Structure 1
């Protein structure tokens, strides 16, 4: 039994690690698309990604015996899944791609990695839950790490474009809303159906800003391959892997392994796209990653609170 538990634990660690790395590499793939084809916009790519991945996840949910349409039978759950798509999926997907387009994948991913601290601030301001001492230290580390990336040590000027900071900040907020909003729905309808509908609602809603059928983008076969990679290996597969990993490891462990996402984005960007990062970027990014790890190791109270919040709201 102990051997089996160790095998399951190892399986969970590997699945969560590979999922995080695939998310990071998908950002690099998106950066390549933006660099090589000016017709590809963050809006268009987000629409393609979310609509396609959402449909695939809903089909998988139906195949494994779930009832994806059940979520629309109740007004409350319908409103919640629409809110999840609009306020959770759109910022975490579209705003991230915008940050990648105007900056690069490593910086965009590191800024987005600040999401857990947005959740901590939410609890502190609105729920009066005071962070523990390690959590407070982590928040301070994350702040100074971000400051290093943004200013490169010169407080009177910005080292990155304000628009990158704007979109990256919105994507970090999106990580928080993307974590909190679907919580009441998950126990009732399952992760496949909830995430699938969230992606589909978000992707369809973005047509308000630019109808997909009116957008003409010419892409090469290589670029088609990159788009398919982002949909399949950057969205569908990592989600399925991460969902299965949570059955074998604790959420705190899974959160620690999320650090592979900015690491993968950095390694692949430097290796294949020749992205140049300064020592300030690397040191600031390392501080943010270590800070999130500290938060994850001491975040059991936060996780329990999220679960209680989801139970009460349901």
Structure 2
């Protein structure tokens, strides 16, 4: 517990890097409290957040229009096209430099973490810990040379794909209601990437990977199976969510699911409606805990990357979730697991 009774929270996923002032013109100063977006350092600290995985991600160079289709019972989004590798490398290099500049400017209030001991030391010192994550591996070539270089600069978590294909595998398109079984599994390059991440001690993230790719990772990986930001398909049958069989495999591996706050993945009706009560969120988390046990459920907000429910509209509101879980009957030991301890256990196993 932190001072003031807040539970210390380590978050499994955010997209704050996309909005850094150091990265793009008109971006936000992460060190200054804002009313825009979901995450900055002051609001994180207000909410008890002590660190998290910060995602670097290359958006499409020329976004398409007209990809969203409303269906009789939900929606479909046309699968995004592959992106150019050289463009992805430039983008990720720019985002990493922006993060490095922001951390340097923070004057000790933020520190990089490449081990669990460093995260726990940051927490003790009331310093915010950033773990570097890559969402979609387009910036990495098949020879995996850049994987080693990014690891040397602090990369400790990687999702082989976003919701589009690349040389390593196939992401799921956004759709509801739909199975996550949407295409072929990992390529040979993707299988080599899994092995290389295991050897380097880079955690592998199954969020956005299709179901056949998921099972390929289960077969190959020697590390716990992890989805940094996902929910239960049995509650909300969106492609991004995990079937009960996938949840069981994550539990069996000793892994964890970071519960995603994105309303269209949380709500049983799949609607992108921020007027989603905290009770709906608690029901969904409760299902995951009942299915997997309290050692395998964590938090992966997707702050600054998705539509948030109003009760959790920014990081300062995280105590609303903790209190709602308490009201539901979650004890303090379980809250500490979900908020912090489960990520530490999985990261320690993945990074050894």
Provide TM-score, normalisation by structure 2: 0.27
More helix by share: 1
More strand by share: 2
Provide TM-score, normalisation by structure 1: 0.29
